[in-house]
Amino acid sequence: MKKNILLIIVLAAFPLVMQAADNLFYVSFASRVMIYAIAATSLNLALGYGGMISFGHAAFVGTGAYVASICIAEGVTSAWIGWPAAIAASALAAWAIGAVSLRTRGVYFIMITLAFAQMMFYLVNSMKAYGGDEGLTLPQRASNLGNEVAFYYVVLCLLAATIFLLYRLINSRFGRVIVAIRENEARAVAVGYPVFRYQLACFVIAGAAAGLAGALLASHGKYVNPNVLHWSQSGTLMIMVILGGVGRLWGGAIGAAVLLGLEHLIAEHPIAWLAALLPNYQQHANLGVGLVLLAIVLFAPQGIAGLLAKEKHAAA
C-alpha cells in the first residue's frame, strides 16, 4: 500500500515539475505511455487472466479511436459524449466478434480474431468520408483539453481507475471463474459454469477498456489513421503484456512504460559503438525488439512483473 501511495505522489507531481522546467514534451510523452498502459492492461485482462489469445485487440482500440474522432469531426467535442460513445462502440464490436470467435478454440481463435481485426482495418481504410488510408486530423482534443498538464491528469485518473477496477475484478467472483476457465476449461464446465458467457463478458470488458484507450489516443495526437487497427499493433500490445507480465496487475502498465521508454531512448540517444558497427541501427530497432521478445519468451516468460515478484519472494 505504501508503494502505491508513493507511486501516486510521484506521478501526480511529475507534470508540475516538468512544467516548472518548461519541458512539456515529456508530459505529453508520459500521457502517451499511460494511454498505452490502459490498452495493454485491457489486453492483459483478456489474455493474461482470461487466457484468450486475441490477436485482434487493436481492432477495439481502433474502434474507440475512430468513434471518438468522428464525434469531434462532426462537431460533438465534449469528452463526456465522445468517450463513452467510443467505449460503447468498442464493447459492441467486442461482443460481436467475441460471440463468433469464442465458439472456437486454440489456434482457430487466434486466427479468427486476427482475421476480424484485419477486416475492420480494411473497412476503416475504405471510409473515404473520414480520411480513408490517409487518416483523419482533428481540429482539437475532446473537451478542449489542449493543456498538456490537464490532459495528463485526466489520463492519470483514468489509468488509476482502470487498474483499480481490474484489481477488484480479479478478486471478485467473476475474476475467479475467468482464471479457473483459463486454468482448466473442461473442469470449469464440469463444475457447472457456462464458460462461453463468462469468456464473452470478459472479452467485452477488455474491448470496452481498449476503446477508452483508443479515444484517448485519438485526442492525444489529434489524429487517427487505419494503422491503429493493423494487426502489428495487436502484436505490439501483446509484446507490452508479456514484457510487463502476463496475468499480473501491473503487467500492462509496466510493459507499456518499458517498451515505449526504450523506443524513445534508442531514438534519442545514439549508442556510439553500435553506430560504428551498424550506421543505420536506429532504423532497425525492430531487430532489437524481436530479439528481446524472443529472449523473454524463451527465458523469462513471466515478464518483468514476474521477475520482481520472484525477487521479493526470494528476499523474504
Partner 1 sequence: MLRLEGVSKRFGGLVATDGVSLEVAQGEVHALIGPNGAGKTTLIGQISGTLPPDSGEIFFEDKRITKVPPHARVAVGLARSHQITSIFRRFSVLDNLALAVQARSGSSFSFWKPVAKETALFDEARSIADEVGLSDRTDATAGNLAHGEQRALEVGLALATRPKLVLLDEPMAGMGPEESQRMIALIERIRSRVTVLLVEHDMDAVFRLAGRISVLVSGRIIATDVPGKIKSNEEVRRAYLGDEVAA
Partner 2 sequence: MLFLLAAGLTLVFGIMDMINLAHGSLYMLGAFLASTFVALTGSFTAGVLLAIPATAILGMALEVTVLRTLYERDHLSQVLATFALILILNEVVRLVWGSDAALPMPAALSGPVELLPGLPYPAYRLVIIAVGLFIAVILYLLVAKTKIGMLVRAGASNREMALAMGVNIKLLFTLVFGAGAALCAVAGAMLAPLFAVQVGMGENILILAFVVIVIGGIGSIRGALVGAVLVGVVDTIGRAFLPLLFGLVFQPRVASAAGPAIASVSIYLLMAVILYFKPKGLFPARG
DSSP state at residue 102? T
Examine residue 195 and tell whether it contacts partner 1 (CB under 8 A).
yes
Examine residue 78 and tell whether it contacts partner 2 (CB under 8 A).
no
Shortest Å, Cβ 224 to partner 1: 30
What is the CA 34 to chain-centroid distance, rounded?
A: 9
Examine residue 201 and tell whether it contacts partner 1 (CB under 8 A).
yes
Q: Are 158 and 216 in contact (CB under 8 A)?
A: yes
Examine residue 12 and tell whether it contacts partner 2 (CB under 8 A).
no
Distance CA 33, CA 44 (A): 16
Distance CA 31, CA 152 (A): 5
Q: Are 32 and 260 in contact (CB under 8 A)?
A: yes
For partner 1, the binding residue among 103, 105, 187, 284 (CB under 8 A) is: 187
Distance CA 105, CA 113 (A): 11
Shortest Å, Cβ 188 to partner 1: 8
User: Is the Cβ of residue 154 or residue 166 nearer to partner 1 in the bound state?
Assistant: 166
Q: Are 38 and 212 in contact (CB under 8 A)?
A: yes
For partner 2, the binding residue among 289, 304, 305, 306 (CB under 8 A) is: 289
Distance CA 127, CA 95 (A): 22
Q: Indicate the residue type of 225.
A: N
For partner 1, the binding residue among 171, 267, 294, 310 (CB under 8 A) is: 171
The length of the chain in residues reads 316
Residue for cell digits 519468451? 297
Total residues at interface with partner 2 (CB under 8 A): 46
Name the binder of 184 from partner 1, partner 2, none, CB < 5-8 A by kind: partner 1
User: Is the Cβ of residue 86 or residue 114 nearer to partner 2 in the bound state?
Assistant: 114
Examine residue 238 and tell whether it contacts partner 2 (CB under 8 A).
yes
Examine residue 276 and tell whether it contacts partner 2 (CB under 8 A).
no
For partner 1, the binding residue among 176, 270, 285, 295 (CB under 8 A) is: 176
Q: Are 181 and 174 in contact (CB under 8 A)?
A: no
Q: Which residues form the interface with partner 1 (CB under 8 A)?
A: 168-169, 171-177, 180, 183-184, 186-195, 198, 201
